[in-house]
Amino acid sequence: MSKLTKNVSLLRRSIGWAALWLVSFAPAVSRATVMLPVDTATLAKRAKAIIRGQVVGQRAIAISGRVWTDTKIKISDSLKGSLEANTVIVVRQPGGETRKLGAKVAGAAQFRVGEEVLLMLRPVGSYWVPLEMTQGKFQIYRATDGEQRTRRDFSGVAFATFNIRGQMVLLSDHQLLQAPDATLGELLATIQRAISGGGK
């Protein structure tokens, strides 16, 4: 097995559970990936690396009939792990578009060249992937009041949890209680408390 094929196999296993949720809930959720919601503190604790950086490049590739998108991130700050500032890493996600093939995977983190991001990552072979797909990617933007804020894109995603009988049930929007876009300072403080053992 080549190194490239091995990496793809690892990536498939890392997102396979998402596809399984989708099949299980196909009658209830159309064209959505169903996920268990994971809070920011838990993501920070689980992440092997947490970085802040800018998207500097992107390309879609086809491997064995499947499309993947490789995104280059230039790191401006490393908050956790061994990755260093001013280096470039490759983040791989399923989906994308080549000249002959195209695919869109609901729940996969989406990137655009030039955007600033904060990522909670884990390694898969020689690549990195956001934890819990799009839940591990925060876009950093400047609000109209001049404050730097962060947001996540949950389009194409439905969330679920387990009830007391152990059955998975879908969550409504109000049950998720999604907070307004956090300031960058608030997000960084949450991450710092989590990785230093302080919890939420």
Tell whether 19 is covered by a domain.
Answer: yes
Any bridge partners for residue 58, and if so which? 71
177: domain range? 3-195
Residue 61's identity, in one-letter code, is I
Confidence of residue 199 (pLDDT cuts 50, 70, 90): low
Cα–Cα separations (whole angstroms), residue 87 to 75, 84, 127: 6, 6, 14
Tens-place pLDDT, residues 100-114: 878 888 889 999 999
Tell whether 32 is covered by a domain.
Answer: yes
Query: What's the structural domain count of the chain?
Result: 1
Tens-place pLDDT, residues 13-57: 444 444 434 434 444 444 568 888 899 999 999 999 999 999 999
Tens-place pLDDT, residues 125-154: 999 999 999 999 999 999 999 999 999 998
Tell whether 200 is covered by a domain.
Answer: no
User: What are the DSSP E strand ranges found in the chain?
Assistant: 33-35, 49-63, 66-80, 88-94, 96-97, 102-103, 116-124, 127-130, 137-142, 148-151, 157-162, 168-170
